[in-house]
Amino acid sequence: MFSRILIANRGEVAVRVIRACKEMGIETVAVYSEADSDALHVEMADMSYCIGGPLVKDSYLNIDALITVAQKTGSEAVHPGYGMLSENPEFARKCEENGIVFIGPGSRVMEQMGQKEVARSIAIKCDVPVVPGTEILKDAKEALENAEKIGYPVILKARAGGGGKGIRVIRNPEDMESSFSQVTKEALNSFGDGGIFMEKFLEHVKHVEVQILADNSGNVLILGDRDCSVQRRNQKLIEECPAPVLSDIVREKMYDAARKLSLEVRYVTVGTVEFLVKGEEFYFMEMNTRLQVEHSVTEPVCGIDIVEWQIRTAAGIGLPFKQSDIGSGRHAIECRICAENSKDFTPAAGRVEMLHIPGGVDVRFDSALYQNCIVTPFYDSMLGKLIVCADTRDGAIRKMKSALSEFVLVGVDNNREMHMKFLEDGKFLVGNYDADICEKVL
């Protein structure tokens, strides 16, 4: 097992990884930007190093600075968290070349599955259904030509995208040129990769993903599925595990597809295979070769610390449990608490003047917030994740409403009230909702 790990990230996920490492007896090294000098992950880590200015390109995306700190501190491994460089094969390769373990599936697999157009080809090879799409597009003119063949609406996606960034739905030719430019720019700024491809945009579908955990002996476990259909501007807001109103037949077919894809590329550690579901049909969307934001909603149902076993499998430790050992039968819900104006959803910033975190059995809040901390405008707006678990879905909904009513955050505008609206919506209550629910509720 590793004795020291550098965490190449910030905020909530950095705190989450530090907690897992502390429980495992592993020392941690934090990196931070000038804007994050007072951040919680900086205080919690055993060592901390400033690596640049407030903008991510000057700090958290600076591969050379990260490698230098890892070498200087004798870190045996790097945990990339999610977002930032977590799906960047160049970063993984640089770690490997310098004798540092990248806590992920490795640069080769990341190149295959992290580049979404390549992942599509692998899915087709494995007989996993996909929606019509393209290879990487050269420019807006080629995008227009392909959109005519596929038929509107279409969706532009960044090859290295994630977290709702680098993605746009196009409904008519007039919007293609500006949208192509916007997606390319956003992809470059967020991921350092401007590659864009296109797919047919399916409407009125559910967004369901399958959580996998694999070791280097070829064992692939399914830790469950999640419904992530509650999204606004392609950003997930509420996730639940397992996905409601999903038939057992579709669920098993999706699990089988996730296993086939994982075995095809010899996947190791934690990953997520995402699908679009329409009725009894499902389509492969992408594979996230990293820890997901919403891993937290799966943990209380499956009974496994996903971050701990991500680290263990990256260190070459085999899985000691079988598929039959994985827990199920309970239901969990996660609400992402974001810093945003409650009226127009614009990002918010400010000082946390008062913070009260709800408690109780099976209530959890993953966050890097603390009293009097400053929420800056430089990074993602997610402040934390409120997670509850109960024996039934109805029980989980009641528990989440109770937890939200107890949650207090003064000084930074946030979306607590928006979540309460969803939890009182008729379609959400019966579980028969799709990715269009935001348009109807908000």
Q: What are phi and psi of 165, to 5 degrees?
A: -95, 150
Instruction: Name the active-site residue from 16, 251, 259, 290.
Output: 290
Confirm if 104 and 80 have CB atoms less than 8 A apart. yes
Type and span of the H or E element at 212: strand 206-214
In the block, tokens 């597009």 appear at 137
94 CB burial (10 A radius; 0-12, 13-18, 19+):
buried
AA letter at 312: R
Q: Which of 3, 1, 2, 70 is nearest to 31 (CA)?
A: 70
Q: What is the DSSP letter of 339?
A: B
Query: Measured between alpha carbons, how far is 327 from 174 in angstroms, rounded to an integer?
Result: 50
Query: Measured between alpha carbons, how far is 320 from 338 in angstroms, rounded to an integer?
Result: 37
In the block, tokens 């830790």 appear at 223
415 CB burial (10 A radius; 0-12, 13-18, 19+):
buried
Question: How distant, in Å, are the alpha carbons of 157, 176, 317 from that of 141?
Answer: 16, 9, 49
Assess whether 290 carries a catalytic annotation.
yes
Query: Measured between alpha carbons, how far is 172 from 179 in angstroms, rounded to an integer?
Result: 11
Q: In what order do the strands lie in the sheet with 382-390?
A: 281-288, 269-278, 206-214, 220-232, 235-241, 331-338, 382-390, 363-367
Q: Give Cβ neighbours of residue 404 (< 8 Å, ≥ 6 apart).
A: 335, 358, 386, 416, 419, 420, 423
In the block, tokens 């945990």 appear at 79
**Number of alpha helices (DSSP H) and beta strands (DSSP E) in the chain:** 15, 20
In the block, tokens 């930074």 appear at 412
| Residues that are catalytic | 290
